[in-house]
């Protein structure tokens, strides 16, 4: 398959119409969101959604988020919209937040992987909303990477994983957030964060009064409620290790350099002789983490050492991703 590559700008109406028509015709189109690039299909067409699982090599028990362009489009996808879901939607949409709600009959089993809930998001990125509006249907979209790889935050990275497998890639520049949306379960009495992201627990608590973190994320004896959180994820090709302190980072990097290895480092400061990926703040790290990991792959490093960050605020989402990237190797 020849994958079309379209650049987006303010004046891309024609491109959105063509891409929307591809979605309606059951084809796959990758598109930018403010978090990461998504791999979109008509969310009401089971055969189209099935193609997403094939293109990504995604396990069939991992449900997919439906993306909408306007808040009231949520109504047809759910039954009995709870006051909790409504308040969260009004507070944080459009934005990097996904709500898990009871699903309505129009949502098919292949989207929800058989669950009786569906995940819905109204993205902050205007290009994403324009595409959804042009398609005229909710767009089912996971991150546009091959399963297990870091999520793509640029169209070129989507191309690395998806060229030849999908109908089109829309290039809307680099994603502003860089980490996937916060997934919140709204089906209980308290909002439960199933995947930490840019909308932090502190922000949710301020609006809702209380919030919990899915116990499956912190207790390895429990299964995470978001099926996708149990898989190995975000893995660069080189072995990656997370270092708890700067001292450990220096020792590890020094030892690897002494063995003549090509060493990648992710830290707020550079280390001499290494391929350094430095950042200035947690926001900057969240924004660039997946890009750093893919860039270190491109540089063909032998090993990656990343410095741990405090696990609160945005740091919780960053550490959640980095722990998965390193397959639990924390030194």
Q: Residue 69: which of 109, 40, 27 has the closest Cα?
A: 40
Residue closer to ligand TXA (CB basis): 70 or 244: 70
Options 81-89, 92-100, 136-144, 238-246: segment touching Mg ion (CB under 5 A):
136-144
Distance in Å, CB of 179 to ligand TXA, minimum: 8
CA 25 distance to own-chain centroid: 25
Residues 156-195 that bind Mg ion (CB under 5 A): none
Residues that bind ligand TXA (CB under 6 A): 33, 35-36, 38, 62-65, 98, 100, 112, 115, 117-119, 121, 141-143, 180-181, 183, 194-195, 225-229
Task: Determine the Cα–Cα distance for residues 179 and 196; give it in Å rounded to an integer.
Answer: 9
**Helices 83-92 and 201-208, interaxial angle, to 10°?**
120
Closer residue to ligand TXA, CB minimum distance, 3 or 112? 112
| Element spanning 299, H or E | none
CB of 284 to ligand TXA, least distance (A): 18
For residue 316, report the phi and psi dihedrals to the nearest 5 degrees. -65, -45
Smaller CB separation from ligand TXA, 225 or 241: 225
Name the residue whose CB lies closest to Mg ion: 143
Question: In whole angstroms, what is the distance from residue 266 CA to residue 235 CA?
Answer: 14
Tokens of 75: 């109504």
CA 295 vs. chain centroid, Å, equals 18
Please tell me whether residue 143 binds Mg ion under the rule CB under 5 A.
Answer: yes
By beta-carbon proximity to Mg ion, the closer residue of 12 and 143 is 143
Q: Which is nearer to ligand TXA, 33 or 287 (CB)?
A: 33
């Amino acid at each position: 398959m020849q994958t079309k590559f379209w650049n987006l700008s303010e004046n891309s109406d024609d491109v959105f119409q063509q891409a929307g028509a591809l979605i309606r015709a059951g084809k796959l189109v990758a598109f930018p969101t403010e978090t990461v690039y998504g791999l979109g299909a008509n969310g009401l067409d089971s055969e189209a959604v099935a193609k997403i699982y094939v293109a990504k090599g995604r396990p069939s028990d991992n449900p997919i988020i439906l993306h909408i362009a306007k808040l009231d489009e949520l109504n047809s996808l759910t039954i009995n919209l709870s006051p909790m879901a409504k308040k969260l939607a009004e507070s944080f949409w459009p934005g990097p937040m996904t709500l898990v709600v009871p699903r309505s009959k129009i949502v098919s089993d292949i989207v929800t992987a058989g669950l009786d809930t569906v995940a819905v998001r109204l993205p902050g990125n205007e290009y994403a909303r324009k595409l959804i509006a042009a398609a005229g249907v909710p767009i089912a979209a996971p991150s546009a990477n091959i399963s297990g790889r870091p999520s793509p935050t640029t169209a070129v990275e989507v191309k690395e994983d998806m060229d030849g497998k999908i109908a089109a890639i829309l290039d809307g520049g680099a994603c502003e957030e860089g980490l996937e949306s916060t997934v919140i379960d709204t089906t209980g009495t308290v909002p439960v964060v199933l995947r930490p992201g840019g909308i932090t627990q502190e922000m949710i608590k301020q609006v809702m009064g209380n919030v919990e973190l899915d116990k499956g994320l912190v207790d390895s004896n429990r299964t995470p409620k978001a099926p996708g959180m149990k898989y190995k994820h975000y893995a660069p090709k080189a072995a990656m290790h997370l270092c708890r302190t700067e001292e450990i980072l220096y020792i590890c990097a020094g030892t690897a350099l002494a063995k003549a290895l090509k060493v990648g480092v992710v830290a707020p400061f550079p280390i001499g002789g290494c391929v350094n990926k430095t950042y200035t703040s947690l926001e900057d790290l969240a924004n660039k983490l997946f890009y750093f990991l893919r860039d270190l792959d491109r540089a063909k490093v032998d090993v990656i050492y990343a410095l741990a960050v405090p696990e609160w605020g945005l740091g919780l989402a960053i550490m959640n991703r980095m722990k998965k990237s390193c397959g639990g190797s924390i030194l």
